[in-house]
A = this chain, B = another copy of it.
Amino acid sequence: MSSPATQQPSPQLFFQTINAHQRTEALKSAIELEIFTAIGEGNTTAPEIAKRSAASERGTRILCDFLCIMGFLGKQDNHYSLTPDSAVFLDKRSPAYLGGATEFLLSPMLTDGVKSLTEAVRKGGTAMSDEGTVAPENPIWVKFAQGMAPMMIMPAQAIAALVDPEGNRKLKILDIAAGHGVFGIAFARNNPQAEVVALDWPRVLDVAKENASKSGVADRYNTIEGSAFEVDLGTGYDIVLLTNFLHHFDPPTNETLLRKVHAALSDGGQAVTLEFVPNDDRISPPETAGFSLMMLSGTPAGDAYTFSELERMFTNAGFTSSVIHPLPPGFEQVVISKK
């Protein structure tokens, strides 16, 4: 190894980062053109893939090479192949297909926020409008519900198994900002005695109810329409799910909600929170800590909270204890807080 003093300065990281937007667009194009599905179906050369994707051979060759460079494809003697991860997540025929998530993750509502990042840094919150993505009935959450379900099935099953390992006692569950409904549905599937109340905007609940029907739990699935901050949550819940919700708001707003959640829980009940929880340094783990930037660009005052910050919010709202659990292989963690 050369000593630091002899290392030449390199603009490599600058270049890679300035060009990083190309990676996003290349993956988006590959999904739109169904390149991964084409290869999964047995089209392995640029001419074959081009034909299947109704694209030019030259454009297909350059895009496929770029997908190799990024690690989404392999290439051997001008034959392209899916990596194991691409076969699972990017071939449309796979049950774990994630391509639909781009409809939410790259929706103009989110990318416009990122594009006005400089203004957001100046202002200290989203530059899009006063409320950004958390505006009432923002249609982005319908896209979220439609696109993000496949990505959440694995973590949802893991959370249900963690919180309700026996899966055989009567449970009443409130799923706040249910979205696609996948978290509450996982509890219902895991436990035939679990009843779920899903709360969200009406158009979002249509997606959750459809997913509940498909999963065969519609008879144990009820809904409350509206904002968790405004509606009556009801009482007597054993579990309240707060999945990817608290990061949209500042701590005082969260504490207001958590007091409502506390009141809605039965004695011995628990709040189950799924969040991007960075370490106290706020820069690790990278993907987890980096989520903060999305909240700066998209919300007035949201953040990726450390465990001690979350713990403080729950304590201030009356909860007696909070415990954090990892949830590999994702970037999020589960915090279980007892009433």
Chain A residues within CB distance 8 Å of chain B: 4, 7-29, 32-33, 53-63, 65-66, 68-72, 75, 84-85, 88-90, 96, 98, 101-102, 105-106, 111, 114-115, 117-118, 120-125, 151, 281-284, 286-287, 289-290, 292-297, 301, 303, 328-331
Contacts and interface: CB of A to CB of B under 8 A. Distances in A.
Given A20-B20, A121-B60, A283 B85 contact: no
A130 to B, nearest CB: 15
B14 A121 contact: no
A332 to B, nearest CB: 11
A72 B84 CA distance: 32
A121 B18 contact: no
Listed from nearest, the 6 A-B pairs whose CB atoms lie closest are A56-B124, A59-B121, A20-B20, A9-B88, A20-B23, A21-B24
Contact of A106 (B18, B287, B301): B18
A90 to B, nearest CB: 7
A27 B33 contact: no
B85 A21 contact: no
Given A55-B122, A96-B9, A111-B21, A69 B15 contact: no
Contact of A121 (B22, B63, B75): B63
Given A14-B98, A18-B106, A59-B124, A9 B292 contact: no
Contact of A66 (B11, B284, B290): B290
